[in-house]
Amino acid sequence: MQADIFAKKKRNTLAFLLLLGALTILAMIITEYNVLKGFTSIPKAIQWGMANFYPTAESLEKLPVILDKLQETLLVSIAATTAAAVFALLFSIFGSNTTRVNAFFGAITRGIATVFRNIDVAAWALILLFSFGQSALTGYFALFFGSFGFLTRAFTETIDEVSGGSVEALKATGAGYFSIIFQSVIPSSIPQLISWILFMIETNIRSATLIGLLTGSGIGFTFNLYYKSLAYDTASLVVVVIIAAILLIEYASNYVRKVIL
């Protein structure tokens, strides 16, 4: 008995490590991952970055064009998020266990959200490319669908967490469904909802870069253009601009979070 617990722990740990090792080797084989190249690529990348990947005076001339594209990307991300948030709020109110009209609708709305959430924005972009072509709208709708799925889940969980007790209390006073929603559910969860929206905007700006690459629009396309034409100095300027924009927005949303939460 005494030796058992320690021996069992050791056996479990060993079995876990063996399984992990086996999976790793399997994954390396099927993905054709090259361990040696993987390790050596890091110093190589640093070396290369030091030599080539920094903005030069010439690349600064491209700054106005880059900023223009950045603005487009930022606006697409924000517009997609806010619109998605409106729909997500509607769906999450119908999907949340505390506020749903009935179990059937609840299940349906959650099912729809699951589908939207689990198709990645990149996949949405490739799907939407057929109808909207290489325009900002492809990216917009891709972000919209992805955000809608994610926000619906986040909002549903928030509403479940925050409003259980107060909904019951208002029901007890005889308040109607809509007054409960607008007087209790939304006011008590609005700080968290805003926090999620801000988080989604941050995520979407990063995703927008990726989608831009796939759909030929926005800042992602700009990066790709310079990257493919080996103009690494300008490409690095694009990266710097993206980093600055994301850090700035993170800073702003952290401030808002600190005040409202």
One of 106, 112, 186, 250 touching other proteins (CB under 8 A):
250
23: tokens are 């999976």
| Those residues with Cβ within 8 angstroms of residue 32's Cβ, 6 or more apart along the chain or in another chain | none
Site residues (CB under 8 A) for other proteins, limited to 111-140: 114-115, 118-123, 126-137, 140
Task: Tell me the C-alpha distance between 227 and 225, whole Å.
Answer: 6
Shortest Å, Cβ 221 to other proteins: 11
- Identify which range of 40-48, 87-95, 100-108, 165-173 contacts other proteins by CB under 8 A: 40-48
Q: Are 154 and 196 in contact (CB under 8 A)?
A: yes
Q: For the segment 43-62, give every residue that binds other proteins (CB under 8 A).
A: 44-45, 47-49, 53
User: In whole angstroms, how large is the CA radius of gyration of the chain?
Assistant: 24
Minimum CB separation of residue 87 from other proteins in Å reads 13
Number of residues that bind other proteins (CB under 8 A): 82
- What's the closest the beta carbon of residue 246 comes to other proteins, in angstroms? 4
- Axis-axis angle for helices 186-215, 121-132 (nearest 10): 60
Answer yes or no whether residue 106 interacts with other proteins by CB under 8 A.
no
Residues 177-196 touching other proteins, rule: CB under 8 A, are 190-191, 194
For the CA atoms of 113, 115, 116, 117, the dihedral, rounded to the nearest 10 degrees, stands at 80
Rounded CA separation 108/110 (Å):
5
Least Å from the CB of residue 173 to other proteins: 16
Q: Which residues contact 19 (CB under 8 A, 6 or more apart)?
A: none
Nearer to other proteins, 165 or 187 (CB): 187
With binding defined as CB under 8 A, does residue 155 bind other proteins?
A: no
User: Please, which residue, 33 or 177, has the CB nearer to other proteins?
Assistant: 33
